Amino acid sequence: MRPDLQWPEATETLSQALGRATFLEIPFELSPPPRTLVDRPTTAAIISQQLHQPTLPIIVGIYGSPGNGKSELASQLARQLREQFPDGVLRLDLSARDLDSALVRLAGYYGQETRMASIAATAEKVRFLSQLLAPKKALLILDQADTNAELLEDFLLADSQTAILITTRHLAHLTRVNQPIPLKPFSEAQSLQYLQASLGEARVMAHFEQAKRLHTAVGGMPLALRLATDLLASDVEFEEYLELFEHQETVLGELAELHGDARLTSALEISYNQLPAPRQQVFSALAVFEGLNFDVAAVVAVTQESPLKLKGTLKALRDCLTHYPQTLERSEINPWYAPLP
């Protein structure tokens, strides 16, 4: 190796000498794959086609209701297309609590970690990463763009070679996307495929009508199906689960108004009812506060629990709230992304 070359430049020189990048040199960072995957070939084909459009910039957007599997589909497709982006496949979760650290980490893949860390403002970090990626044939997933949506424009450079794939709940965040792609819930066939992959074909076929009722009850929502299979994988039978699902009253009723879908509310309540009583009590305590207007000391005063225990519980609750990481409205406090205990 030439002594005047630093590692990133030396790597580039080696890659040029070989005529291509070696596989281990290609930056690759995505969320872990889910336990169960269900193909959505039509939607995946549309996304893939848009990612390979000949004109710049390449900006693709997926939108849809929470729990519909937007993030999983984006990462699943990125894995399949990995070799078509020789300069890397990366994911940036815009809802991350420490977005600055995530930006520094991504810049580090291209030898610019120190330079990125020296930039103070988050918006400036975003602009630096965008300029860094602009000449590269890479794919960047901007996941959960409803949070920090004001940063989106800084990622979308007109002459960038890097393809951008955005996931969001709201179409309004995709103004720069020519043909936003809606992601709908599972069809009945897809729900049955998911249940068979999660619970085994024999069990689902033995309770085929109940499995179809479950699809109808949850509206084909992948997240609600995951919550259901977490329970059904234990000792709960299909009929028991359906009875619980179809007849219980809604504890978090305002979620129906918030999301416009009472079936989602029921799915969330089921997860809430599975929580240990102490954590349910903390939920109740938080519900007396407006938004973020509380701290550990205030909750201690209400619950009479130890500060150390409450700090751990609050951290766990925050880790669960990946859907609304910045606004803890009382109707949104539910660990619906966490595995059931």
**What is the mean pLDDT of each successive set of 10 residues along the chain, which is 341 residues long?**
40 42 70 83 95 94 90 94 95 93 96 96 96 97 93 94 96 94 94 94 94 88 84 79 57 41 50 60 64 62 68 56 38 34 30
Report the C-alpha gap between 119 and 116 in whole angstroms. Answer: 5
pLDDT at 336: 35
- Is-contact 103 43, C-beta < 8 A? no
pLDDT score, position 275: 57
Cα of 203 vs its chain's centroid, Å: 30
Query: Among all chains, which residue has been given the structure tokens 């207007």?
Result: 293
pTM, to two decimals? 0.67
- The class level of CATH for 7-182 reads alpha beta
Q: Where are the alpha helices (DSSP H) in 235-295?
A: 238-247, 254-259, 262-273, 277-286
What's the chain's length in residues?
341
Q: What angle do CA 162, 164, 167 make, to 5 degrees?
A: 165
Structure tokens that stand for 222 in this block = 């992948």
Structure tokens at 179: 């043909």
Question: Do residues 324 and 317 touch, judged by C-beta distance below 8 A?
Answer: no
CA separation for the pair 306, 312 (Å, rounded):
10
- Find out whether 272 and 332 touch, Cβ atoms under 8 Å: no
| Both tokens assigned to 102 | 């995530």
Q: Characterise 45 by phi-psi region: left (phi > 0), alpha (psi -120 to 50), beta (else).
A: alpha
- As a whole number of angstroms, the distance between CA 219 and CA 130 comes to 39
Domain ranges of the chain: 7-182
Distance, CA of 59 to CA of 146 (rounded, Å): 16
